[in-house]
């Protein structure tokens, strides 16, 4: 149990376009999901906390207008990178916590974004 | 605020030898502690966690970790590694706000 999926697993786009990444909890409902960014050979940096039915909470330094997060249902959160630029190229990972296991996060497999 | 320090960025080890990955944290309040493993181009998999209770925690794949409150450490150990243990290992802490703070990671390379 507690499986989290992401789609797509990798995406290449042109500079200036927008890219949407989906994060789904497959076998549980998640009121809270998290989005992380990971640069090559570095650690994960929390970007935002996604709450079902309300606005996401962004970490300091993360542009909310550039990284749009929508948590439309208890099993789906989306991250849209708007007007992507090469510096947005990164590995984006989401996580979710099952009910009554709020102190555990289960991670998706990640999405590799390359902006040309 | 809390921070996590993984003292070793890279740990080469021979197959069947023991390994220890060091993790120290700083926090003014009680924390929850985690170790995750990441294989290339994949997400993170939970190895083990300390929430409360016994300070010696056993996880998957033969890993264990010991919480030492006085030394604010949560070192990860495995008595005998396999080639398949080659991966990146992350120590993480969280408080009641559910947010995870990660260490910089330790690359473990197991050689035959």
Query: How much is the pLDDT for B14?
Result: 97
Residue A93 has pLDDT above 80, yes or no: yes
Question: Considering only CA atoms, which of B55, B34, B58, B36 is closest in space to residue B106?
Answer: B36
Judged against a pLDDT cut of 70, whether residue A24 lies above it is answered with yes
For the record, the structure tokens of A5 come out as 């999926």
Output the six-digit token pair for B49. Answer: 């966690």
- Cα distance between residue B33 and residue A52, in whole Å: 26
Domains of chain B: 3-111 (2.60.40.10)
Interchain proximity B42–A104, CB inside 8 Å: no
Contact between chains at A102 and B98 (C-beta distance less than 8 A): yes
Q: How far is A5 from A14, CA to CA, in rounded Å?
A: 25
Task: Identify the pLDDT of residue B4.
Answer: 92
Pick the residue from chain B with its C-alpha nearest to A108: B43
Cβ B105–A106 below 8 Å, yes or no? no
Residues 23-52 of B with CB under 8 A from A: 32, 36, 41-46, 49, 51
pLDDT in tens, A44-61: 899 999 888 888 999 999
Report the pLDDT averaged over residues A73-88.
95
Residue B2 pLDDT class (50, 70, 90 cuts): low
């Amino acid at each position: 149990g507690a499986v989290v999926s992401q789609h797509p697993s990798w995406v290449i786009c042109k500079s200036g376009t927008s890219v949407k990444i989906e994060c789904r909890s497959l076998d549980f409902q998640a009121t809270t999901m998290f989005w992380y960014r990971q640069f090559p050979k570095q650690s994960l940096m929390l970007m935002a906390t996604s709450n079902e039915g309300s606005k996401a909470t962004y970490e300091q330094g993360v542009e909310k207008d550039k990284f749009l997060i929508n948590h439309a249902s208890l099993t789906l959160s989306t991250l849209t990178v708007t007007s992507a630029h090469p510096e947005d190229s990164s590995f984006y990972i989401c996580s979710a916590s099952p009910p009554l296991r709020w102190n555990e996060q289960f991670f998706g497999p990640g999405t590799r974004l390359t902006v040309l | 605020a809390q921070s996590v320090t993984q003292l070793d960025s890279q740990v080469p080890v021979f197959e069947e030898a023991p390994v220890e990955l060091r993790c120290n944290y700083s926090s003014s309040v009680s924390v929850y502690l985690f170790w995750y493993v990441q294989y290339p181009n994949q997400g993170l998999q939970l190895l083990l966690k300390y929430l409360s209770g016994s300070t010696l925690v056993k996880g998957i794949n033969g890993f264990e970790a010991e919480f030492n409150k006085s030394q604010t450490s949560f070192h990860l150990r495995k008595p005998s590694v396999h080639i398949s243990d080659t991966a990146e290992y992350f120590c993480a802490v969280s408080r009641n706000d559910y947010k995870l703070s990660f260490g910089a990671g330790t690359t473990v390379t197991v050689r035959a």
